[in-house]
Amino acid sequence: MSNSTLVINGGKKLKGVIETSSGKNATVAVLCASVLVKGKSILKDFSHVEDVERMIEVLSSIGVKFAWLDNTTLSVDSSNSLQMNNIDKKACASARIVLLLFGALAAREKKYRLYKTGGCKLGERTIRPHLYALQKFGVKVVSRLKYYEVKNSSLKARDIVMYESGDTATENAIMAATLAAGVSTVKFASANYMVQDLCYYLNTAGAKIEGIGTTSLKITGVKKLHDVDSYYLIPDPVDAMAWISVAITTKSSLTIKNCAYDFLALELENLSVMGQKYSLLNKRKSKSGNFDLVDIKIIPGKLTALPDKLHGRPYPGLNIDNVPLFVPILTQAEGETLVHDWVYENRAIYYLELKKLGANILLLDPHRALVKGSTNLQAGDIVCPPAIRPGMAILIAMLAAKGKSVLRDAYPIERAYENLVERLQGVGADISVLAE
């Protein structure tokens, strides 16, 4: 769907089960890493969200072959020579995640151009942490007006300290180290879910990565990787958090299936402090065997504001992507909560859009907002912000607001949430796509 307008008749109690999907972040990381294999990978529980589709377009344009074996199983063949001159500039421009090609191509392409990327409008998001790490392995990136000029020399193992514990910067460093001759260490690495999934996938392909799930990785370079017959992607914890927020904000009894527990435990602890009741059901291992999964049943009840500020941190802190998804919840909690969204320059400003739905939100500065509850949310007509998570926060508030709301240009949400309308309809939400 391109720039679809959503119509929501809100204020309804939802009921039933929502299944968590594989999200964009882990899926795109593994998709890019499949280029390192220089062969075939069968990826299962694959996501169809817009950012992933754009990444497939980029990789297709340079010669990677794709075949859908069924709706959620994708065969990737990266054995052919790559045609970097044919790269799809338009697809590059739509998703910042294309930056992962720096690491993915480090051992394959001596010289190429990567066109500058788009994605969420969240202020000036630096790529320096990527470059500081990659240059130590032998990747030289020069920024031009419309593209990055990349020159790769023979990769050599290095002991590096991440300038910033970012997810994609860490992923780039891991991919560069995987085929670098010798033993590398990556300290102050992100240990977030998509980084772990990338490492497990690469190890399945023959990489030698130790310390997965910690901030200190030891990577013994290998000469080549081998085909991957089957790899199941992790269910996305940020996708799960969105449905948790939907359930709580609408005061509904919902069960969210396939939740990666270790990446939601702190979020659930914060909710417990607020008085939220829930049950953890059906504890088990993920299909890959690498992660602990649970089903989470949300039980409606009275909420009070958090006694301390809410802020995101690198894992194992509260997921930075989940901070905006807490904001609709906080509108329904008695008292005041300070939200400190410190990572992105402009993201907290988008929270003011919720005032159009009757939320009581005071912006203290570009990073901090005071959310006062509880409030009865009202219907409204809003243009979706150009950022995934604030857009989803507005949609969640609209589901709770009585009356007819309109969310225009909803494409940013579709970049990360698969079958959004259908999944909500499945639990009783009155939501539809406005025919243009």
Q: Give the CATH number of the domain where residue 283 resides.
A: 3.65.10.10
- Quote the pLDDT of residue 126: 66
| Number of structural domains the chain divides into | 2
- Quote the pLDDT of residue 122: 47
Distance CA 231, CA 102 (A): 23
- Quote the pLDDT of residue 347: 87
Digit-coded pLDDT (tens) for 232-244: 999 999 999 999 9
- Quote the pLDDT of residue 98: 86
Residue 84 phi, psi (nearest 5): -65, -25
Region 321-339 average pLDDT? 97
* 157 and 144 housed in the same domain: yes
Residue 1 lies in a domain: no
Residues of the domain holding 362: 6-21+235-433
At residue 303, does pLDDT exceed 50? yes
Region 358-381 average pLDDT? 96
Residue 422 lies in a domain: yes
- Quote the pLDDT of residue 342: 87
Asked whether 396 and 325 are in contact (CB, 8 A), the reply is yes
Residue 327's alpha-carbon distances to 16, 125, 168, 266, 361, in angstroms, are 23, 23, 25, 16, 9
* 270 and 395 housed in the same domain: yes
- Quote the pLDDT of residue 1: 44
Domain stop point among 181, 207, 232: 232
Domain stop point among 232, 252, 280: 232
Tell me the whole-structure pTM to 2 decimals: 0.94
Q: Which long-range contacts (CB under 8 A, 24 or more apart) does 161-165 make?
A: 161/187, 161/188, 162/129, 162/133, 162/186, 162/187, 162/188, 162/189, 162/190, 163/128, 163/129, 163/132, 163/133, 164/128, 164/129, 165/189, 165/190, 165/215, 165/314
Residue 303 lies in a domain: yes
Region 391-419 average pLDDT? 94
* 13 and 106 housed in the same domain: no
* 249 and 205 housed in the same domain: no
Residue 267 lies in a domain: yes
Digit-coded pLDDT (tens) for 108-153: 999 999 887 665 554 445 688 888 999 999 999 988 888 889 999 8
At residue 293, does pLDDT exceed 60? yes
- Quote the pLDDT of residue 116: 79
Q: Which residue has the tokens 């507005």?
A: 394
Residue 241 lies in a domain: yes
Buried b (16+ CB within 10 A) or exposed e, 150-167: bebeebebbebebeebbb
Domain stop point among 202, 232, 262: 232
Angle at 374 between CA 372 and CA 379, to 5 degrees: 100
* 172 and 306 housed in the same domain: no
* 394 and 426 housed in the same domain: yes
* 16 and 68 housed in the same domain: no
* 223 and 252 housed in the same domain: no
Angle at 185 between CA 183 and CA 190, to 5 degrees: 140
* 138 and 273 housed in the same domain: no
